[in-house]
């Protein structure tokens, strides 16, 4: 008995009967939200433009605003409610209004993206092109929260939260972007996400409507009920199977990325090589590695590929690139040093040649210096010249001596032997060279 009492108390907390609104009020609320005329129509038009601009500008805040003001959930809840109560006339009205809303949204968003100068697909657009089983769960439980709020006396702030979570308007506008830019993979991916949201919000309405035992307002036989149930089952299966496949692919990609990151942390430094850059592509299961430091040999690459097996990356395509290499740096450094040495050698040669040229110029001018020094002592000297030459002698071995040569020109017989001896002694002292060759020339 105690266990039964505890169970009853627990179930009492989950009981909705005491907070459920009157069925007639719920019925009128759902019918009012189905219709797209007047206020709802204008709100739909504004929501389309806001969502399209938000996606185009990659603005999360604007997209959330479009989700909040979008009235698309009304016809979807109406379809679920009419199916649960087998109200086929109401179902036709809900489908008609929903179809009109979808077409209007596609036309408006396609037109906007066709004329906007900004046509790049940002992250907010891309996020709505690859639906998975997780989107099914969001739509189902979000829809359950929404229909429970509609049927409850305590509405609270559930409906805005459901509108944000299930995100009906952005996928439709993304599909319009796909049509405007002829990117049909975007169109089909986004429209499939919109279909998932639509179907499972409607299914959640069916579930809650049947759990709360909404009254059936039309006559229906058991055969029609079975037919409706079969159709619902078929729609659920057709919608959910692709999402399971995509969800499995998403899990695989996430697992590959996690394993690849762990692998990269393990081989960031390998045999004197440093990982400079890496790229992970979960879609193609490829990893690109750029190493610097030492030379990455084939043996190193094979060892790295072998290590990838420890991280469940046997099927990964691992490629390598050599970045900055110490060996190449040393080679380049040696080349730079050799170039510097060659530059220094050439500079020294130029300096030596300049010194020789300067020395030759000084030699050529030295005769003038000697004339200026001898002329005051011996006015009869007319000119002097100075040069340096070599004297070759041949004994058993050829010898070569550097010799200074001075030519002194004077008037005919103006210098006697005593003068010539004095000039010779003076020149030897002046040049500090006893081997200097002095030639006296008389000019008539």
By DSSP bridging, strand 437-443 and strand 398-411 are: parallel
Options 1.10.3470, 2.60.120, 1.10.10, 1.20.1080; CATH of 2-220: 1.20.1080
CA distance 150 to 167: 18
Residue 413 has pLDDT above 80, yes or no: no
| Cα separations in angstroms, 226 against 66, 327, 402 | 38, 78, 129
Instruction: Give the CB-side neighbour count of residue 160, counting CA atoms within 13 A.
Output: 7
Extract the runs of DSSP E, i.e. beta strands, from 282-363. 286-293, 317-325
Residue 309 CB partners (closer than 8 Å, separation 6+): none
Look up residue 124 and give its two tokens: 């907010």
Helical ranges in 16-132 per DSSP H:
23-34, 39-57, 60-69, 73-84, 88-115, 123-126
Q: Kindly state the DSSP code that residue 20 receives in the 8-state scheme.
A: B
| Three-state SS at 388 | strand
| % of the chain residues with pLDDT over 90 | 0
Token pair belonging to 166: 């299930």
pLDDT of residue 330: 58
pLDDT in tens, 241-282: 887 877 777 788 888 888 888 888 888 877 777 787 888 888
Give 292's contacts (C-beta < 8 A, 6+ positions apart): 273, 274, 276, 322, 323, 324, 325
Q: Mean pLDDT across the stretch 57-80?
A: 81
pLDDT digits (tens, 9 = 90+) for 358-393: 555 566 677 778 788 888 888 888 888 888 777 777
Residues pairing with 441 in the sheet: 409
E strand spans, 372-433: 381-394, 398-411
Q: List, for residues 89-134, the tens digit of each pLDDT value.
A: 888 888 888 888 888 888 888 888 888 887 777 777 777 777 778 8
Rg over alpha carbons for the chain, rounded to the nearest Å, is 51
Average pLDDT over residues 228-253: 80
User: Which residues, other chains included, contact 170 with Cβ-Cβ below 8 Å and sequence gap of 6+?
Assistant: 51, 54, 55, 63, 66, 67, 124, 128
For residue 171, give the nearest of 77, 68, 44, 48 by alpha carbon: 48
Site of tokens 């020395």: 359
Choose the weakest-confidence range: 17-26, 41-50, 283-292, 381-390: 17-26
Q: Token pair of 81, please?
A: 């409610």
Encoding tokens for residue 175? 């599909």
Mean pLDDT of 300-328: 79
Give the span between the Cα atoms of 321 and 292, in whole angstroms: 9
Count of CB atoms within 10 A of residue 181's CB?
16
Taking the C-alpha atoms of residue 291 and residue 270, their distance in angstroms, rounded to an integer, is 9
Looking only at the bridges linking them, the beta strands covering 273-281 and 286-293 are antiparallel
- % of residues, the chain, pLDDT over 70: 83
pLDDT at 1: 47
What residues pair up with 305 in beta bridges, in sequence order? none
**Between 111 and 395, residue with greater pLDDT:** 111
Angle at 167 between CA 55 and CA 189, to 5 degrees: 70
Residue bearing the bigger pLDDT, 325 or 88 = 88
Q: Where does the pLDDT of residue 415 fall: very low under 50, low under 70, confident under 90, or very high at 90 and above?
A: confident
| Burial 196-232, CB ≥16 within 10 A → b, else e | bbbbbbbbbbbbbbeebebeeeeeeeeeeeeebeeeb
Note whether 202 and 83 are within 8 A (CB).
yes
Residue 122 pLDDT: 75
Q: pLDDT value at position 231?
A: 83
The structure's pTM equals 0.60
pLDDT at 219 (0 to 100): 66
- Segments making up each domain of the chain, as ranges: 2-220, 375-443
- Look at domain 375-443 and name its CATH class: alpha beta
Helix and strand totals (H; E) in the chain: 15, 7
């Amino acid at each position: 008995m105690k266990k039964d009492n505890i169970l009853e108390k627990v179930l009492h907390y989950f009981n909705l009967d005491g907070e459920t609104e009157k069925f007639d009020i719920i019925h009128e609320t759902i019918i009012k939200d189905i219709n797209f005329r007047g206020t709802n129509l204008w709100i739909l038009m504004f929501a389309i433009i806001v969502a399209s601009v938000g996606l185009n500008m990659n603005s999360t805040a604007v997209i959330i605003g479009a989700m909040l003001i979008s009235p698309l959930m009304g016809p979807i809840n109406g379809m679920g409610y009419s199916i649960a109560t087998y109200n086929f006339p109401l179902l036709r009205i809900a489908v008609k209004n929903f179809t009109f809303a979808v077409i209007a949204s596609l036309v408006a968003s396609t037109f906007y993206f066709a004329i906007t100068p900004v046509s790049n697909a940002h992250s907010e657009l891309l996020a709505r092109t690859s639906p998975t089983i997780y989107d099914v769960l969001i739509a189902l439980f979000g829809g359950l929260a929404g229909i429970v709020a509609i049927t409850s006396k305590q509405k609270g702030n559930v409906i805005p939260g459901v509108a944000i979570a299930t995100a009906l308007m952005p996928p439709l506008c993304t599909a319009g972007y796909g049509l405007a830019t002829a990117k049909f993979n975007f169109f089909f991916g986004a429209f499939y996400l919109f279909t998932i949201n639509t179907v499972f919000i409607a299914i959640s309405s069916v579930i809650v409507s049947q759990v709360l035992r909404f009254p059936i307002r039309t006559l229906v036989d058991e055969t029609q009920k079975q037919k409706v149930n079969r159709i619902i089952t078929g729609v659920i299966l057709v919608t959910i199977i692709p999402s399971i496949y995509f969800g499995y692919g998403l899990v695989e990609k996430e697992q590959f990325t996690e394993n690849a990151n762990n692998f990269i942390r393990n081989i960031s430094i390998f045999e004197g090589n440093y990982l400079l850059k890496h790229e992970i592509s979960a879609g193609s299961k490829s990893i690109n590695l750029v190493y610097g430091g030492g030379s990455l040999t084939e043996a190193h690459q094979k060892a790295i590929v072998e290590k990838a097996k420890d991280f469940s990356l046997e099927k990964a395509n691992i490629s390598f690139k050599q970045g900055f290499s110490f060996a190449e740096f040393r080679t380049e450094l040696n080349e730079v040093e050799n170039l510097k040495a060659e530059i220094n050698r050439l500079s020294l040669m130029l300096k030596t040649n300049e010194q020789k040229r300067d020395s030759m110029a000084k030699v050529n001018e030295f005769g003038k210096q000697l004339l200026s020094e001898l002329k005051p002592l011996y006015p009869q000297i007319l000119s002097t010249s100075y040069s340096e030459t070599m004297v070759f002698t041949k004994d058993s071995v050829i010898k070569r001596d550097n010799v200074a040569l001075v030519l002194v020109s004077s008037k005919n017989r103006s210098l006697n032997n005593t003068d010539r001896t004095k000039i010779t002694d003076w020149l030897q002292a002046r040049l500090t060279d006893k081997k200097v060759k002095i030639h006296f020339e008389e000019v008539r």
